[in-house]
Structure 1
Amino acid sequence: MQPVTSSHSGLLEGAKPLHETLPGRIALSVAATLFVAACAHVSIPLFFTPVPITLQTFAVILIGMVLGPVAGFSTMVLYLAEGAMGLPVFSPAGPGGMAHLLGPDAGFLFAYPLAAAAAGWIVRAMPRVVSRFSSAILAGIGSSIITFALGAGWLAHLLHLGSTAVWSLAVAPFLAGEAIKITAAAGIFSSMQKWRRS
């Protein structure tokens, strides 16, 4: 006599993981934008620069590494669209909405899709001989270079600043914090990779 098998178990065995389905990817991207928004609200204004300290770049780097270059880019475009529609996803230090996308830190915001894509691409392009953590550190550095370049460039254009002034306002005050955020994102990502393969 043949053993009785459940048709439901057969369906489950053939089902794709949630993150490989279109609805699952959409839900994952929306959840990722909420994570960036939560990190944006961890905000510390600085009296000497219009750009606040936030955890946004930490979220951008981590999302790019976890989701990959294409999904990371798309997620950050969705995040900017949410902010443009007036949803409270940007740092509370700014005006919010479209006005925030034209303000002093607009260059940083518009860099996020490229920065996430860079993090996702670099961490996947590194040779296998390089450890996951080292690959993630390099991905974070590459992502941050893009963020600082576009953020500082926009601020220089908006406020008509020279290179020394823009370095003091948009780059130097954030380097130590960025190093911590890169290390944290790399540690979380490498731990996730080990957990997936165990």
Structure 2
Amino acid sequence: MKIGVLALQGAFYEHRKMIEQLGAECIEIRQLSDLTSNRFDGLMLPGGESTVQGKLLAELGITEPLRNLINAGTPVLATCAGLILLAEEIEGGEKPYLGTLPVAVKRNAFGRQLGSFEYTGSVGDLKDFKMTFIRAPIITAGHSDEVQTTAVFEDKIVAVKYRNQIGLAFHPELDQDTRIHEEFLELCKSFSLNK
């Protein structure tokens, strides 16, 4: 299985390390040719600075090809800034980037860097999952009945699944628990078999 990780900025290396630890091949996407010369079974959009990542996606001509892959069913795991890249709506009137995930998000919903924290709870069927939040967004609304809420913290939606897209406000790649990445690889395996 071949997984592409957007490697323009942010915590892409941690995702790559986790995916490789689980036995899949990981390709860093840094330019358009990385995206067009490989056939991916899944994509990962890491945390970092969504504004910087979105600007680079546009400058490098990657936005539309990436959007097309996601809309064609390629599974995607997006964390923190990656969730903002996917969102159809960003509160405050900011123009969306990929816009493939029918949700509204609010940036820095828990405050700036000092507002970073950890919380252990359920993510879908996964119990006792440690969630690390760093300048995290939240999902404020779903724009489709198909958007499933998979994790909540203090009545705030912090994880969703929509068709082939998993959007997380937290950083599973920063801890040792590989269960979310394992679930993502299962989704990628199903996609690969049905291609």
Same fold (TM over 0.5): no
More strand by share: 2
Q: Which structure has the highest helix share of the two?
A: 1
TM-score (norm 2): 0.31
